Amino acid sequence: QVQLVESGGGVVQPGTSLRLSCAASGFTFHAYAMHWVRQAPGKGLEWVSVISHDGNNIYYGDSVKGRFTISRDNSKNTLFLQMNSLRAEDTAMYYCAKVIDLWNGCDYWGQGTLVTVSS
């Protein structure tokens, strides 16, 4: 069965960096685009970034553009999110999710990893 397991979250100070990982199993990872989606405490879902199956096409939401970098290692079935210059408003649960296809939504989601940015 499809499993997505995020890791790397924690409490960090503003201005610092953090790298999230998402270990995928149960499907052909290299055949699917992957998203990062976040949810601030008590708030709605916010799309962060998407990467195509081969890593050649990448898109970011306006709030993270220039600070976050999405990448993937298809040999290790792992998705990454490098987050730099973190701000208090980046505090959220971060989910990785597998797409149905590139333009469609996501059919499988991980349980999330919590990032707290606080001084």
Piece in contact with other proteins (CB under 8 A), picked from 16-24, 42-50, 71-79, 84-92: 42-50
Residue choice 9, 77, 109, 114 for contact with other proteins (CB under 8 A): 109
Q: Which residues have a Cβ under 8 Å from the Cβ of 102 and sit 6 or more positions away?
A: 33, 50, 52, 53, 57
Residue choice 61, 77, 82, 116 for contact with other proteins (CB under 8 A): 61
Residue choice 23, 59, 82, 84 for contact with other proteins (CB under 8 A): 59
Q: CA 52 → CA 64, 88, 106, distances in Å?
A: 18, 29, 13
* 10 alpha-carbon distance from chain centroid: 14
Give the span between the Cα atoms of 58 and 71, in whole angstroms. 9
Q: Is 34 in the site for other proteins (CB under 8 A)?
A: no
Give the span between the Cα atoms of 63 and 39, in whole angstroms. 13
Q: Is 110 in the site for other proteins (CB under 8 A)?
A: yes
Q: Is 1 in the site for other proteins (CB under 8 A)?
A: no
Site of interaction with other proteins (CB under 8 A): 37, 44-47, 50, 59, 61-63, 95, 97, 100, 103-112
